[in-house]
Amino acid sequence: MSPEDLSERLERYYRRSRLSFDLFLGGAKHFGYYPPGMRPSEKQARERMEQLLAEKLRLVPGMRALDAGCGEGVVSVHLCRSHRCEIDGVTVLPFEVPAAERLARRNGVSGRARYHLKDYSATGLPDESFDAIYSMETLCHALDLGRTLREFHRLLKAGGRVAFFEYTLGENGRFPEHHRARLEGVMHSLAAFVPQGFCGMLESAGFEQVQSDDITQNFTPSIAHYERILRWPYRIVSLLGLGERFPNVTSIVDVFPMVREGLVGYHVFSARKRQPGP
């Protein structure tokens, strides 16, 4: 698949899913984090996931971060407001850039949140531009994951940190091929997100202090919430043969049983770029 083909496929998927993202997630494109024993609202859970991201990156005021696959700016705007950092967001979807810019203006952070139509695997930005780099459920779209990680390593300052919040496959290899084919239609690099294997890829790209945190139990109430909401729309869409027109509806309901069976999980991967020795 060429980069142009992938971009076209992603644009088709996200345009068709835009209404459900706006209606149910307030424009966000990520799930929530439910702390053990707590039942926050779904909006609070999504904000808690974003706070966990800030903790993994050790964000402080004045830091500059790259949002790799920024969507319509929901995460970057929230972090700019809550942590007073600067964020450059990149996306291959043309309609997302003006939407993100509008959101930044409405929230008074347009001076610190900037958005670019770029492929995060080949940004063309200068070396060592960022203190932190992150993705929120978007790295699975990478056409060449190794190349993408090397690009992040190039862009990151020495001592800078990365954090990737991603769906993962179980280590035991019992993932059915028909499920894999269905998911990889959009999540091109999903097969690489077996936790141990992806950690090895981070190390091969030059990162150190690589850590993998399994937060599947904290993510599961969030996807279960949306599965309950979308169960009946899914049946109607399936009956009418309209699954391709409503891909987000079908994907959530399709993936939930895989989560329940332990075939799909959710991990946070974090690492640091090595600092030069004395």
pTM of the complete model beyond 0.75: yes
Q: Assess whether pLDDT exceeds 80 at residue 4.
A: no
> What contacts 213, CB < 8 A, 6 or more positions away?
267, 268, 269, 270
Q: Please choose, from the candidates 133, 61, 120, 127, the residue with its C-alpha nearest in 3D space to the C-alpha of residue 90.
A: 120
Using pLDDT thresholds of 50, 70 and 90, give the confidence band for residue 24: low
Give the Å distances, CA to CA, from 4 to 1, 12, 186, 248. 8, 12, 14, 22
Q: Assess whether pLDDT exceeds 70 at residue 120.
A: yes
User: Mean pLDDT score of the chain, rounded to an integer?
Assistant: 87
The angle at the Cα of 55, spanning 61 to 65, to the nearest 5 degrees, equals 50
CATH 3.30.420.110 correct for 3-273:
no
Q: Assess whether pLDDT exceeds 70 at residue 84.
A: yes
Using pLDDT thresholds of 50, 70 and 90, give the confidence band for residue 238: confident
What local confidence, expressed as pLDDT, does residue 131 receive? Answer: 98
Residue extents of the structural domains in the chain = 3-273
What local confidence, expressed as pLDDT, does residue 58 receive? Answer: 97
